[in-house]
Copies of this chain bind each other. A is one copy, B any other.
């Protein structure tokens, strides 16, 4: 059994995008299995007294974030621009990701959803956008969509927010090793991988 590393991500999160696009390759090279854990940042920020992304509260930090991610994306052969309606509502995408991650198309769906948003400038709150992504990766897109909106699946995402509280997650991306060591931010991914090996 390879050591596991949980990858907690939110679709609206710009730094989660950077991690989502590289984590499987980095982890595979190190012999670590990644467990993709979609969640919603909204309730986390609300607990912190915020009604939106913390970047929107501090304009200079928002501008810096954009420049910082553009630099990192360029180094990694990715495109990045702030999408319309930032921060976008990632609710439907997260529900679909929960379904896909139990099948074999989940990670592909996640990466393509991130690209639709941050590379192509589409709005992932739009179900038509998600359906296009879904059609490109899921075997039965209609069944996947239907499964994503059952009460049971909606409850799974809500339950995940309680797990986020319990784990003391305060932002995204967050990486958690099998022993519970927590790392925050794309710039801690390599360190998280090395602790995943150490904590196994």
A residues whose Cβ falls under 8 Å from a Cβ of B: 48-49, 57-58, 60-61, 63-64, 67-68, 71, 168-171, 182-185, 187-188, 191
Contact = CB atoms under 8 A, between A and B. Distances in A.
B57 A49 contact: yes
A170 B61 contact: yes
A191 B71 contact: yes
A63 B184 CA distance: 12
A60 B67 CA distance: 27
State the number of copies, please. 2
10 tightest Cβ-Cβ pairs between the two chains A and B: A60-B168, A60-B170, A187-B187, A61-B170, A48-B58, A58-B170, A64-B184, A64-B182, A64-B170, A63-B168
22 contacts: A48-B57, A48-B58, A49-B57, A58-B170, A60-B168, A60-B169, A60-B170, A61-B170, A61-B171, A63-B168, A64-B168, A64-B170, A64-B182, A64-B184, A67-B182, A68-B183, A68-B184, A68-B188, A71-B191, A185-B187, A187-B187, A187-B188
